[in-house]
Amino acid sequence: MNPKPKKPETLLEAFENYLHDAALPSRMRAGASVNTIRGYVHDMHDFLAWWEQTIGKPLTVAALQHDPFVLNKKRIQDYINHLERRVGNATVLRKVSSLRAFTKYLQKKKIIEHEPTNGLRLPEKAEPEPRGLSDSDRSRLESAFQQPWLPSRTPKRKRKEDVEKNVLEDAKQRLVRDRAIVFLMLYAGPRVDETCNLNVGDIVLKEKSGSLHIRKGKGLRERHTAIPRPARKALQEWLDLRKELGIENDSKLPLFVRLRGETGKRLSVRAVQDMVSDAARHAGIEESIVTPHVLRHTCAFMLRTAGADIETRAKMLGHSVKTASKYGAPGNAEIEKAAALLDHAEAA
C-alpha cells in the first residue's frame, strides 16, 4: 500500500518550525524561548484568522509568491486599528512585535523582500508603575512560612485517617522547600522560570556569602549573582531536608523538586505560581498582589532602598540598563556587597 501523501505545511506551521530550529545561531542569540515562540505563534494565528475573515481568503506562501506586496503596510495598519478597538496598547504592541518576527521569517526564506512593518502608526505604551510588596505585606508573607499550613485542596480518594496521618509531615516538608523558593525570589530576584530551571550545582552556599548561577536567563543570557543571608539560610535548610529524604544533591539534578508522586521531578512554573498564590491566601494578602514577578520587583525595591546603585541592581537582576554600558559592569565584589545589604532585612 502506498503511503498517504504528506500534507504540506501551513504558513503558520512553517513559521513555528523556523522559530524552533535551535541550529540557527541567530535564533539562539535572539533568545527565542519556548514561551516566546508560543506567544509569536498564538499572535500570528490571530492575525492569519483576521486576514482570512477580512480579505476572504487565507494568506499562503503561494499567494505571497504570486504577489509579495499583498502583505503591505496598509493592511497591517488596518489590523492594528482593528486591535486598538478591542485590546489594550500593551497587547497591540506585543502583537506587532510578533508580526515583525513573522516578516523577518518571510524575508529570510526569500518569500518577500520588502518590509511591510516600517512606519506603522502605533499606540504609545503606558509605562506601568512596578509593584512591590509593602513592608507590612512582606512581613505577612514571610510570617506565613514560620509554621506549616494545610494545602487548600485535599487529595481525593484517600481515606480520612491516611490524610490526617501524613498531611502534617507533608506540610512541614513542603514548607521548607517553598520557603527556600520564595525567599530566593524575594531576596535574590531570579525570575520564576529561572528559579524552576536551577540545578543543585547552580547555587553555592557559604557562611557569609553565596552565589547563584543563572544559566539561561531572559534572552538566553547567562549571569552570576549573589544570595543574601535570608535566602542562604532557607536554601541550606532545603538542601539538608533533601538529604534527609534521600533526594540526591548531585550538582546536575533539579534544585526544586516534587515531594510526592513523581518525587525528584523538577517543579513546573505553574506549580510555583500556585504555591505563591496559596501562600498569599494563607498570609491574608490579596492573591493578585503576590506573584513571583512581584517578589522580583520587591527585591529590586529593597536593593534600591538599601543603597545599591542602578548598574549593580541591573547586573544582579539580569535587567538591561542603558547607563550600565557607559560606566562598565559591576564586579563580583560589588554584587556581593549589594546582596549583603539584605542580610538583615527579614520582616518576620
pLDDT for 331 equals 61
pLDDT for 217 equals 76
pTM: 0.61
Check residue 159 and report its DSSP letter: -
Strand partners, 210: 205
pLDDT for 142 equals 95
Q: For the segment 88-114, what is each residue's pLDDT rounded down to a tens digit?
A: 898 999 999 999 999 999 999 999 999
Highest mean pLDDT among 6-20, 211-225, 246-260: 246-260
Q: From CA 213, how far away is CA 205, in angstroms rounded? A: 12
**Over 50: is that where the pLDDT of 329 sits?**
yes
Q: From CA 145, how far away is CA 139, in angstroms rounded? A: 10
**Domains in the chain, CATH or no CATH each:** 11-108 (no CATH), 135-340 (1.10.443.10)
Q: What are phi and psi of 127, to 5 degrees?
A: -75, 110
Share of the chain above pLDDT 90, in %: 54
| Neighbour-count burial for 118-135, b at 16+ CB within 10 Å, e otherwise | eeeeeeeeeeeeeebbee
pLDDT for 158 equals 52
Taking all residues of the chain, what is their mean pLDDT, rounded to a whole number?
Answer: 84
Burial class (CB in 10 A: 0-12, 13-18, 19+), 302: buried
**Over 60: is that where the pLDDT of 334 sits?**
yes
pLDDT for 344 equals 85
205: helix, strand or coil? strand
Model confidence at 34, pLDDT cuts 50, 70, 90, reads confident
Name which of 140, 139, 144, 164 is nearest 154 in CA terms: 164
Residue in this structure with the C-alpha cell 509568491, named with its chain if needed? 65
Extract the runs of DSSP E, i.e. beta strands, from 143-285: 203-205, 210-214, 223-226
**Range in 54-58, 115-119, 263-267, 317-321 the model is least confident about:** 317-321
What average pLDDT does this structure show over 184-195? Answer: 94
pLDDT for 300 equals 85
Distance of CA 210 to the CA centre of its chain: 23
**Range in 28-37, 208-217, 218-227, 337-346 the model is least confident about:** 28-37
**Over 60: is that where the pLDDT of 141 sits?**
yes
pLDDT for 326 equals 35
